[in-house]
Structure 1
Amino acid sequence: MNGAMLWGVGTSIYGLQPEKRVEELAWTAVAEAIRDAGITPDAIEAIIVGSVFGPPGVATRVQRGIGIPGVPMWTVENACASGTSAYHEAVEAVRLGRFGCVLVLGVDQMSTLFSGAIVPEATDPEGASSLPLPGLYAMAASRYVQEFGVTPEQLAAVAVKNKRNGLDNPRAQLRNSAPTVEEVLSSRMIAEPLTFLQCCPTSDGAGALVVGRDRGHAGDLRVEASAMVSGALWDHRSDDVWGYASVARAAEIAYAQAGRAPSEMDVLEMHDAFTIGEIVTCEALGLAPRGKGAELAPSGHTARDGAQPVNPSGGLLSRGHPLGGTGTAQIAEIAWQLRGLAGPRQVERHRVGLVETMGGGAAGMDGNACVVTILSAQ
Structure 2
Amino acid sequence: MRFDLELPSQHAASHRVAVLLINLGTPDAPTPRAVRKYLAQFLSDPRVVEIPQFVWQLILRLAILPFRSRASAKKYAQVWLPEGSPLRVYTERQVEQLRRLFAANDYHVIVEYAMRYGAPGIPAMLNQLKLEGAERVLLVPMYPQYSSSTTATAFDDAFNALKRVRNQPEIRTIRQYADHPAYIGALAEQVREYWRHHGHPDFAAGDKLVLSFHGVPKRTMDLGDPYHDQCQRTGSLLAAALGLTPVECRVTFQSRFGRAEWLQPYTAPTLAELGAGGVKRVDVFCPGFTADCLETIEEIGIEVRDEFLRAGGKEFHRIPCLNASPAWIKALGEIVAQHLQGWPVQTVQPLSAVA
Fold shared by both chains (TM-score > 0.5): no
TM-score by length of 2: 0.34
Larger Rg computed on CA atoms: 2
| Higher fraction of helix | 2
Structure with greater contact order relative to length (CA < 8 Å, sep ≥ 6):
1
